[in-house]
Structure formats: structure tokens, C-alpha cells
Amino acid sequence: MSFLEELKRRRTFAIIAHPDAGKTTLTEKLLLFGGAIQTAGAVKSNKIKKSTTSDFMEIEKQRGISVATSVMTFEYKNLKINILDTPGHKDFAEDTYRTLTAVDSVVLVVDCVKGVEEQTERLMEVCRMRDTPVIIFVNKMDRDGQNPFDLLDELESKLNIKVRPLTWPVNGGSDFKGVYHLLDKKLNFFKVNKTRVEDDILPIELNSQLLDEAVGAKDANQLREDVELIEGVYDEFDPQSYLKGEVAPVFFGSGVNNFGVMELLDTFCAISPNPISRQTDKRVVEPTENKLTGFVFKIHANIDPKHRDRIAFLRICSGQFERGKFYKHVRLGKDMRFASPFMFMADRKDVVEDGYPGDVIGLYDTGNFKIGDTLTEGEALQFTGIPSFSPEIFKEVINTDPMKSKQLEKGIQQLTEEGVAQLFTVPLGNRRIIGTVGELQFEVIQYRLLQEYGASCRFEAKSYTKACWLTSDDKQKLAEFIRLKHNQIAYDKDENPVFFAETDWILRMNEQNNPDITFHKTSEFKVTG
Ligand code: G4P
């Protein structure tokens, strides 16, 4: 197959959801369709089930599973589809945000009973920042959920995106009869069946008597009314608006019953984008360019504590990746080759000879990579749009074993490079402050520092809730601000100044009083991705 053919058949996306909405179930059904797995139950949920944060076995298990399920690849209708896994637990949201930088589109799963939940809103904010195309799957239609029209209104208002249903449910809950495909004009009957991969589809016209026979006169009339309302209220579905991230097509179904999944998958295959062009600090890189470019969006370290190996996940943006060939690590200005690059195939990993735009390649790393690092065939460019997001919980690291300061320093450095949390340094006394989006990370860090580096520490809570990166065209004003506010200033890993604030209000006051200084909510302020 030619390079262009390989490129055109790639689809790389993430499934995002609030925990328990059905992400794992849907992923599994998609893999079943693709023949990548043979039986239900083969995909392990990577969620930490319990709310308790002290189950360390669970954390370890989670780390193992999340490597195995980081990328799942399957073939369907001659397309090569890469699903990038995103941790559902909110404390790992930052990992999810970064994964979203490596995909070309997203499928959002919403529970029809619970509607739009907190985590859904935050994940969608990131998609909206990047104009990522989104398809919505309303799951668990076999449960008594909200009225579908109300749900659509909620999706629009809370997720700040226009929606367009492409299927429509006939009833819901115990009386759920199926979904009507609004474009294909076909009725898909619902049957409880957890293993079936074929759907029971009847091509029925809305006005046909067959519809009454199939679902009963009352439901048939209700469906006709609903469809009339939909056609009146919603604009016709426009794939271009979807690709621009302006409108999200909506499907209804039941993942666990394998229902509505095929419509979703078929539409996804028909409309979702090929690998898209990507912004760098120098220029836009087109996937069709024949020279390799790619960036690291995830690093997994010390899976086996006996080996200090790390795995860097490289998203290929252009060109063909070849095993054993030298590539330039732009930040280090160093040529590197990879003897055993691998790809994940559902439940196993295989060494690969090559990879194409959209693919994610696992590279064994001995400490050369940081998140955001770029590989090229020589050109000095750096992909942008892989920012750090403002953490919400801040704690100072206090060393409790002075004999192990070096180990502590190294451990903190490596774990934060891996992206477990963000590290800020306060110049006075070289104090270390760790910022995260969830409490769980602190337990993970403390546990891993001890297990993997033999270092022990405790954390002292800080009252900050916001961190903003600072820039200004007026260098003097910035220096003056930093001097005045030195108690609230620290530096990130790249030595950019960051301002800590206790509350939104304090942050706003500082913004108002210092109009020459810009307060950025993410670390990337020069170019947006
Ligand atoms: P997540 O990855 O988004 O966290 O969700 P997951 O797929 O693990 O699904 C969460 C729970 O919802 C699971 O039940 C799953 O079986 C159930 N579920 C998924 N899709 C549907 C659906 O269409 N209808 C109904 N009624 N339930 C659905 P569980 O009890 O937590 O786990 P399990 O023991 O069933 O695996």
C-alpha cells in the first residue's frame, strides 16, 4: 500500500466520558466489531473503582493496565483505527488532557440517566479549545433516563457545542424499542444481547404502515412527531461543521447490549478526520509530507521497578516512521534510533517495522524524553498545542530522610517529567511545590518515591488554588511584579515564572491591577495548537 493510502486509512481518536458512563464497555464493543478481540470482557477497565485513595495495589494495577490499554488498534472496513485510552478518574485529568492533544477526533459517552456530568464538561472544554471534532454517544438507553430532547438541550448548554441527532430512540428504559436512523431512514430493533455483533436492522420508511406493525401505533406516531420536531429545530447535518468542531452528531444506544454501536462506528468511519495537519513553532506540518515528524504526549516510567526503563508514546504527524533509522530529537539536538519500536494491538504489543501519520509508537527510553518532545528528520521544529494546564492543588515537598535527598530530587524530577504532576520551584530555599488536579496524585507520588527511589517525603498543603504563567512585553514591569509578589511566585520546569493565587478573586484583582502583564491558564501562550 502506498504512503498516501496508508495515511488515508488512519483514524486516531479518544473515547472520553465521566467514570461509569460506559467508556470501557464501548471500547470493547468497537474492538469486537473490528475483530481485534474475540470475547467480551477482554478489555480491562483502567479506572480505579474505589473512591478510597489508599489502595496502592489498585494504583499499581492501574499503571500496568493503563500501559496495556494506552492505544488499541483495530481494523474495520479497511480502516486502521487507533483508540487512545483516557483515564476516567478525575485525578488523572491532566493525563487525559494531554492524550487529547494526540488525537484527531473524540467520541464522548454520556449516561442518559445522569446527563452531562462534571468530568464531561471539563474534558469537553479541552476539546473546544482545540476545535476537536466530537461525536456524542448517549449510552444506557435501556435505563429510564431523561427525555432525549431535554438531554440534547443540556448537552448544548453545558458543553457549549451545537448538537445534531443522527439516530433517535423509540422509548427508553424497560420499554426501549430501538433507534431510528434519521439519515438512512432505517429502524434498528433493540434486543438485549451482550455478545451479538450484528444488528437487527429494518429499512422502514417513517410513514410506512410497517413502522406501526414493528413498534405499535402509539410509538410509531410518537416517533413521527419527534422526527418532525427534530427536522424543524435542528439544521441539516453538515459534516464540514462537525470537522470544524462546531456541531456534534448524537447517537443513542446501549453499549453493554451492543446496541447502536454499529451506527456509531459506521458514521465515525464515514465522517471522522484523517490525520490532521498540526501546528509547530515554525510552520504547519501536513500529514502528507514525506519526512517524519512526531511528538511525545505521554511517558510511562518504571513499570518494572527493577529496570529504569520508560516508554515514550510518540504520535506520528507526518512521514513514515522506520525502525532502526536515525531521527533528530529536536530539544536535545541529538540523533537517535530505535531498535524495538512497538505498537499496541488490543491486548499485546508487537515490535513494528514502520508507522504512519496517526499511529502511536511506543519507544523505550532511558531518560531522553519529556512530554512535548519532537522527533524529525533534521528540521528544528517543535510541535505546539501540548500545554500544561493550571493545577488546582498545591503542596510543598518536605524531605523526611535527609540521607536520601538526591534520590528524592531525582524521583521528583522523573515523576513530574512523566507527567504525574507539575513541579514548581520557589527560588528562595530551592523549595519544591507540586501541583496536581487531584489528591490521588500525592499518594501516588509518595508511594512511588518510596518504592522506586527509596526516598521518603511528606507534603505540606498550600492554600493556592490557581497557578498562572506570566508574560509581558514590558520586561521591567514583569520583573517588578515578580519582585513585589515573590511570596507567590515560582518557576516551572522550563523556568517560566508562575503566579500562585488563593482564589479566583485574588487572581482577578492582580490581573486588573497589572494590565501590562498577561496571566495564562496554560503553559502554552505563544501559539495555540
Ligand atoms: P467507564 O469505563 O466509563 O467507567 O464505564 P464502564 O464501561 O466500566 O461501565 C460502567 C458500568 O455501566 C458497568 O457496570 C457497565 O456494565 C454498565 N453499562 C455500560 N453500558 C451500559 C448500558 O448500555 N446499559 C446499562 N444498563 N449498563 C451499562 P458495572 O456494574 O460497574 O460493571 P460490570 O460488572 O457490569 O462490568
Q: pLDDT at residue 434 above 80?
A: yes
Among 70-79, 180-189, 199-208, 312-321, the range of highest mean pLDDT: 312-321
Sheet holding 374-376, edge to edge: 334-337, 326-329, 374-376, 293-301, 310-318, 360-365, 342-345, 348-351
pLDDT at residue 288 in the model:
97
388 Cα: distance to centroid of ligand 1 (angstroms): 31
pLDDT at residue 303 in the model:
63
Where is pLDDT greater, at 254 or 33?
A: 254
Which residue has the CA at smallest separation from atom 22 of ligand 1? 140
Q: pLDDT at residue 178 above 50?
A: yes
Q: How far does the chain reach from its first CA to its final CA, in angstroms?
A: 31
Where is pLDDT greater, at 312 or 528?
A: 312
> Rounded to an integer, what is the distance from CA 87 to the centroid of its chain?
8
- Helices marked H in 403-501 — which ranges? 405-418, 440-453, 475-484
pLDDT at residue 441 in the model:
81
Backbone angles phi, psi at 326, to 5 degrees: -80, 135
For 227-247, the pLDDT digits (tens) are 999 999 999 999 999 999 999
| Rounded-to-integer distance, Cα 249 and Cα 167, Å | 9
44 Cα: distance to centroid of ligand 1 (angstroms): 12
326 Cα: distance to centroid of ligand 1 (angstroms): 45
Domain ranges of the chain: 3-271, 283-376, 393-520
127 Cα: distance to centroid of ligand 1 (angstroms): 24
Helix axes 440-453, 56-68, angle to 10 degrees: 90
21 Cα: distance to centroid of ligand 1 (angstroms): 7
Which residue has the CA at smallest separation from atom 24 of ligand 1? 140
Q: Tell which atom from ligand 1 comes closest to the C-alpha of 141.
A: 23
| Rounded-to-integer distance, Cα 419 and Cα 204, Å | 51
Which CATH superfamily groups domain 283-376?
P-loop containing nucleotide triphosphate hydrolases (3.40.50.300)
Q: Tell which atom from ligand 1 comes closest to the C-alpha of 21.
A: 3
Q: pLDDT at residue 422 above 80?
A: yes
Residue from 15, 16, 20 whose mutation best tests the ligand 1 pocket (most atoms within 8 A of CB): 20
Residue from 16, 23, 24, 25 whose mutation best tests the ligand 1 pocket (most atoms within 8 A of CB): 25
Residues sharing a CB contact under 8 Å with residue 84, sequence separation 6 or more, in sequence order: 12, 13, 14, 70, 71, 99, 102, 103, 360
For 270-313, the pLDDT digits (tens) are 999 999 999 999 999 999 999 999 999 988 876 665 666 788 99
pLDDT at residue 417 in the model:
82
Instruction: Specify the pairing of strand 10-17 against strand 105-111.
Output: parallel
DSSP assignment letter at 458: E
Report the CATH architecture of 393-520: 2-Layer Sandwich (3.30)
What would the CATH number be for the domain defined by 3-271? Answer: 3.40.50.300
184 Cα: distance to centroid of ligand 1 (angstroms): 29
pLDDT tier at 108, thresholds 50, 70, 90: very high
Q: What is the mean pLDDT of residues 58-82?
A: 75
* H-run or E-run covering 218: helix 217-233
With contact defined as beta carbons under 8 Å apart, do 442 and 434 qualify?
Answer: yes
pLDDT at residue 50 in the model:
41
For 362, 414, 453, 457, 507, the CA distances from 410, given in Å and listed in that order, are 23, 6, 8, 13, 32
Q: Tell which atom from ligand 1 comes closest to the C-alpha of 27.
A: 7
For 251-276, the pLDDT digits (tens) are 999 998 888 888 899 999 999 999 99
Q: Tell which atom from ligand 1 comes closest to the C-alpha of 254.
A: 23
pLDDT at residue 48 in the model:
47
Largest CA distance in the chain: 82
Of residues 220, 225, 200, 219, the one with CA closest to residue 208: 220
For 166-175, the pLDDT digits (tens) are 999 998 888 8
Mean pLDDT of the chain: 87
Q: Tell which atom from ligand 1 comes closest to the C-alpha of 46.
A: 2
62 Cα: distance to centroid of ligand 1 (angstroms): 18
C-alpha cell at 348: 499485546
Residues lining ligand 1, CB < 6 A? 17, 19-25, 45, 47, 88, 139-140, 142-143, 254-257
Q: pLDDT at residue 373 above 90?
A: yes
| Rounded-to-integer distance, Cα 386 and Cα 53, Å | 28
HSE-CB at 192 with a 13 A cutoff on CA atoms is 7
Which residue has the CA at smallest separation from atom 9 of ligand 1? 22
20 Cα: distance to centroid of ligand 1 (angstroms): 6
Q: What is the mean pLDDT of residues 161-165?
A: 96
Q: Tell which atom from ligand 1 comes closest to the C-alpha of 25.
A: 7
- Domains 283-376 and 393-520 are alike in CATH topology: no
pLDDT tier at 62, thresholds 50, 70, 90: low
